[in-house]
Amino acid sequence: MAYDYGRCHVCGGRMEERLTSQGFEEEGEWVLIRSVPTGACTRCGEKVFRGNLLERLEQIRQERKLRQPEVRIEVPVFAF
């Protein structure tokens, strides 16, 4: 059974689960976590996470130096 994200807290639209990517910068390095199950509003695009998912993202963040990444990518950076 799929997780029920309820209604969007911004616009009241229907939330559905989608796989997204989440990125963060730490110690001057960007890290990307792919295929993160995320509740996304079908109307406005607002995203929400389940509580236990945030715990898992934090665990990956803490263990990232102990694991080999699946892949490394080059990211172009531009000044504003």
Report if residue 51 sits inside a domain. yes
pTM, two decimals, is 0.78
Report if residue 76 sits inside a domain. no
Distances (CA, A) of 18 to 6, 13, 21, 46, 63: 14, 15, 10, 12, 25
Residue span of the structural domain in which 56 resides: 15-66
Looking at the structure of the chain, the number of domains it has is 1
DSSP state of 14: B
Report if residue 56 sits inside a domain. yes
Report if residue 75 sits inside a domain. no
The predicted-structure confidence for 3-26, as pLDDT tens digits, reads as follows 899 999 999 999 999 999 999 998
Report if residue 80 sits inside a domain. no
Report if residue 78 sits inside a domain. no
The predicted-structure confidence for 37-72, as pLDDT tens digits, reads as follows 999 999 999 999 988 898 999 999 999 889 999 999
CA-derived radius of gyration, the chain: 15
CATH code, domain carrying 51: 3.10.20.860
